[in-house]
Structure 1
């Protein structure tokens, strides 16, 4: 058994933040560089997926979020051999925030930040996010756990 990082499964989190029919995305600088995905990263020791999603969203975009809920899990094997299990966490923008509060907060990790209509996402899409969009995830059952575009409400568009 070797000890390289490709021999371990990474446990990550991705934050799906929706505002008025648009999803918050970041353009990745590394590992899928140039591709677009939701804010996210690896869990820190002892951290819950929900807390990691709130932290990563703020670190990457400066946006504060509330009401995080794990909604899906994906098993993502990347072309470079990296293997991640990703917790998909839906969260709402904090009530006192505006769309403009999302900004490039970590230029070392991300190249751009923006809100995009669900029907008009930028390309290329990062593999894990594409798997999520394609439904290649284990959906968590229970109240409030469907993907955000299957809910109703002001920040939850329906399709």
Structure 2
């Protein structure tokens, strides 16, 4: 009987670790103060653009804790989460079994501690407060969220959902 257990074990192991769809959970924050938005100006192989502060979760960390930690690490701004505002699903077209969900939270700044920035390997060029009315003048990703913010004019009663498929990573 034991000789039949191993092949099934290896099949399930292979399926769950190599064939099963991989979903990455990320968090990001939309931090607004005086009609200005906290953004990270980042440098990637496909160019420089603005991103909302955020990143992946650490083990045993809730999505809210991850959003707070990532925002503090990337910007030096301590925040208070207000509510869930947007979910972005990104499907990698160059990897059929990989996608990511980025959960965006509306947040308020509590304090600014610029000396707490974490070295991210040189991707972050600078942290900026950008006027919401000027979002259409900069390269910000995901673009659809910037458009939603400009139209909302501070009214964030609904949660939006966006699906995108691209050949390159947008985070």
TM-score over 0.5 (shorter chain):
yes
TM-score category, normalised to shorter length: 0.5 to 0.7
> Equivalent of 1:8, from 9, 22, 32?
22
- Is residue 130 of structure 1 aligned with residue 143 of structure 2? yes
Contact 2:73–2:116 (CA under 8 A) maintained in structure 1: no
Q: Name the TM-score, length of structure 1 as normaliser.
A: 0.68
Within 5 A, what are the aligned runs for 1:1-159? 3=18, 8-30=22-44, 33-77=47-91, 83-94=99-110, 97=111, 101=113, 105-107=117-119, 108=121, 109-121=123-135, 123-126=138-141, 129-135=142-148, 149-150=154-155
- Larger Rg computed on CA atoms: 2
Task: Judging by fraction of residues, say which structure has more strand.
Answer: 2
**Which 4+ stretches in 1 moved above 4 angstroms?**
78-82, 101-104
1:91-132 C-alpha deviation (Å, 9 max, x unpaired): 1001xx36xx55792352411110001111253222xx3232
Instruction: Give the Å deviation of 1:44.
Output: 1.6
Separation in 1 of the partners of 2:48 and 2:28? 17
The alignment yields a C-alpha RMSD, in angstroms, of 3.1
1:16-72 C-alpha deviation (Å, 9 max, x unpaired): 100000000001234765110110001122221111111001000111111342222
Contact 2:41–2:127 (CA under 8 A) maintained in structure 1: yes
5+ long unaligned stretches in structure 2: 1-14, 157-171
Q: Name the TM-score, length of structure 2 as normaliser.
A: 0.64
1:113-155 C-alpha deviation (Å, 9 max, x unpaired): 10001111253222xx3232345xxxxxxxxxxx78215xxxx
Separation in 2 of the partners of 1:61 and 1:17? 11
5+ long unaligned stretches in structure 1: 136-146, 152-159
